[in-house]
Structure 1
Amino acid sequence: MSTPRIAIAHDYITQRGGAERVVLALTRMFPDAVLYTTLYNAETTYPEFRDVTIVTSPLNRIRFLRTHHRAALPLLAWASSRVRVDADVLVASSSGWAHGFRTTGQKLVYCHSPARWLYRRDDYLGADAHRSLIGWILAALTPALSRWDKRAAAGADRYLANSTVIAERIKNAYGFDAEVVFPPFGVSPDGLLEPLPDIEEWVADGYYLVVSRLMPYKNVDQAIEAVRERDHKLLIVGAGPLDAQLQAQAPGNVRIVSNVGDRQLRWAYRHARAVIAPSFEDFGLTPLEAGVFGKPVAALRAGGYLDSVVEGRSGVFFDEARAADIARALDEIEAHDWDADEIIDHAAGFGEAHFHAKLDAVIDEMMNERG
């Protein structure tokens, strides 16, 4: 059997996050593949995408949407339906749009989550959806988008979930079972390190670390409150619509930095005492990225962290994303004698080689089934 022609797809490539790191892993697995997406902004995503051949939808001609992709939501179903991919297998990394791209061959969907704005609007907005203008707009769009979304899901030949909780959501949203294939951690400990400007001296006596988009459902505000009365500092690496609000909320022992490259992120992980992971994540790469540096994590006992954190071995859990619960978890972190080598060994089981091998096996099955 000849080698299949592979193409890759992703919803939009306009930010830096775990899903985008998975796409980069796919580009390393399939270096000759073309990457299809609705919107692409080279300035706000990982620089490695500059080395990839990227095909965008017509929406990408609108500069405002490249920098404000959420404003494109009413148009993304239309744009996604007009992306056409010529390939034997399209590997679609999707959180709601790329699974609707059309292809001449088979479609393998790697699902980070069924669309939050359809099935988990309160979580997506960080508040009661009926109490905001955006929430009312989403509610008005939901019937049409839901029909489009279910048709898109049904058009896939195989569906993979990135975690156990996402497999459950896929079952609830679409009615079918999805195999779980864990994503790889995205930050290698072997690369170069670069101190964060104006931070190195400030954190010299140790710090906790949060790496997160600054979105309502990420609960970064609760991590800030958890350290307000503590001696240790908190370094937050991330960007998002809550940046100004969180900057205003932050006490003197908290710093928020954005536009951080991988060299600086490695430095931040390497020198942290521990990592705080306070959000309900679909999978959540942060505990594993901390783990490859031998750092324990205090994580919310929910979502994908149930797959990636082993209590007492690689971290501790807190039951609610509240400042008091996070503070108690940090006390547990400080009281425990952590084995860095054991943490590293656990994280190594989620490496990119494992991810590639799983996808290879699935694609081989698809091609054999097709004959």
Structure 2
Amino acid sequence: MRVAIVCDWLTNQGGAEKVIESIHEIYPKATFFTTIFNQKNFPKLKNSKVVTSFLQKIPFAKTKYPYLFPLMPKAIESFKLDNFDLVISSSHTVAKAVKTGKNTLHICYCHTPARSLWQSDIDQRGKGLLKKYFIEKLKVWDKKTANRPDFYLTNSQNVKARIEKIYARESVVIYPPVNTDFYQPNSAIKKADFYLFVSRLIPYKRANLAIEVFKKLRLPLKIVGTGPLETKLKQMAQNYPNIEFLDAISDKNLLKLYQQAKGLIFPCEEDFGIVPVEAQSAGLPVIAFNKGGALETIINAKTGIFFDTQSVQSLIAAIKKFEKMKFNLEVTRENALRFSQDKFKKNFRNFVQTTLKKYQPIIKK
């Protein structure tokens, strides 16, 4: 069977890329199609065929790709996939709009409809980059091309409702894969007093809120991650030795932090949110904003607690409540096992196989 995996772009590692990695493990001989590719950040694709678009030739494309969003519809539509039996698009921006042949089954794993188009109040990365003219044109194109996939999969009930509202399409929830075999507790490691924040340093992740709170509480906070806000956030935390930036670290060192920390701070509204599941898998409870995918992955008062508004007062109140609580390590990990890599692969493979068997002969007629 000839399989293609289509991605918006492959420039940096993140939650969507972990899903792509697991899909690739199911279909190791698949050909990749993506608008922009940064090989050095994807060593596991060294021996895979990766087809890129004309955007790859732009000198700054690998690092400044958000500026190229208005060109991405044309880029994704430039690929020729007529000769593939199965196309799997991993889409949070444009990949779902790839054109396929009439005898090709196209299954889209939609992480979310483009947040910079439809949720600019949460994800403001499009602001200042896209003029209103381009945003409105892209919205029209995004809706129009929503009918190109034959079937939609998605990462949460949260996004399932969003897909139905924006695209008027049904979708099936298959929770994304978390490496629960790797992220395990270690009872031999003594718990420390610090809290942990793990994320790319971009606006909607709300690292600024965590910093403001810990400036007031004077409790230890370790921040793991890099991003365009790094300099600004470090300036915010100047003269506060309780706040430490660790930048980018290895998975092995991240696991140690999960095992040592008192709690994970998760102040953003996320589509699903792999980091809170990794933390719980390692036995670490979570303090999370009471919205989005966290509502599906955290059990209130058992594997973490929620706070209701993205404000300093609300998060402080939650941390003070958290400080008085005790959490069971085994219960916390057991909750995370619902999202293992093995379960993802099994559910994904079963959906594809069943769909191919039942619908491919009639799907394009």
Question: What displacement does 1:318 show?
Answer: 0.6
Which of the numbers 220, 232, 236 marks the counterpart of 1:245?
232
CA contact (8 A) 2:178 2:340 kept: yes
State the match for 2:75 in structure 1: 79
Whole-angstrom distance in 2 between the partners of 1:174 and 1:238: 33
Query: Could you report, residue by residue, the CA deviation over 1:256-288 in whole angstroms, capped at 9, with x for unpaired residues?
Result: 233322222222222221111111101111110
Query: Which ranges in structure 2 are unaligned for 5 or more consecutive residues?
Result: none
| TM-score, normalisation: structure 1 | 0.89
Whole-angstrom distance in 1 between the partners of 2:196 and 2:43: 23
Question: What displacement does 1:73 show?
Answer: 0.9
State the match for 1:113 in structure 2: 112
Change (3 A) 1:312 1:95: same
State the match for 2:176 in structure 1: 183
Alignment partner of 1:299 is 2:288: yes
Length, aligned pairs only: 351
3-state DSSP of counterpart to 1:152: helix
Aligned positions of 1:148-159 closer than 5 A: 148-159=141-152
Q: Which moved more, 1:256-265 or 1:102-111?
A: 256-265
State the match for 1:198 in structure 2: none
Query: Could you report, residue by residue, the CA deviation over 1:58-94 in whole angstroms, capped at 9, with x for unpaired residues?
Result: 2112230111111111111110111233421111110
Query: Could you report, residue by residue, the CA deviation over 1:84-124 in whole angstroms, capped at 9, with x for unpaired residues?
Result: 33421111110021111223311101111101121112322
Alignment partner of 1:173 is 2:170: no
State the match for 2:360 in structure 1: 370
Whole-angstrom distance in 1 between the partners of 2:175 and 2:203: 25
Question: What RMSD over aligned residues (CA atoms) do the two structures have, in Å?
Answer: 2.2
Aligned positions of 1:29-48 closer than 5 A: 29-43=26-40, 45-48=41-44
Whole-angstrom distance in 1 between the partners of 2:220 and 2:16: 28
Change (3 A) 1:297 1:49: farther
CA contact (8 A) 2:180 2:341 kept: no
State the match for 1:266 in structure 2: 255
3-state DSSP of counterpart to 1:65: coil
Alignment partner of 1:22 is 2:26: no
Which of the numbers 276, 291, 300 marks the counterpart of 1:287?
276
Whole-angstrom distance in 2 between the partners of 1:155 and 1:310: 37
Aligned positions of 1:47-196 closer than 5 A: 47-50=43-46, 52-85=48-81, 86-104=83-101, 105-125=104-124, 133-134=128-129, 137-186=130-179, 188-189=181-182
Change (3 A) 1:268 1:307: same
**One-letter identity of the residue aligned with 1:370:** Q
Query: Which ranges in structure 1 are unaligned for 5 or more consecutive residues?
Result: 194-202
Change (3 A) 1:242 1:216: same
Question: What displacement does 1:150 show?
Answer: 1.9
State the match for 1:212 in structure 2: 199
State the match for 1:199 in structure 2: none
CA contact (8 A) 1:298 1:315 kept: yes
CA contact (8 A) 2:202 2:229 kept: yes
Question: What displacement does 1:231 show?
Answer: 4.5
Whole-angstrom distance in 1 between the partners of 2:181 and 2:71: 36
Q: Which moved more, 1:315-324 or 1:263-272?
A: 263-272
3-state DSSP of counterpart to 1:345: helix
Whole-angstrom distance in 2 between the partners of 1:25 and 1:331: 38
Q: Which moved more, 1:178-187 or 1:306-315?
A: 178-187
CA contact (8 A) 2:283 2:329 kept: yes
Change (3 A) 1:46 1:288: farther
Question: What displacement does 1:188 show?
Answer: 4.4
Whole-angstrom distance in 2 between the partners of 1:299 and 1:26: 28
Whole-angstrom distance in 2 between the partners of 1:187 and 1:256: 26
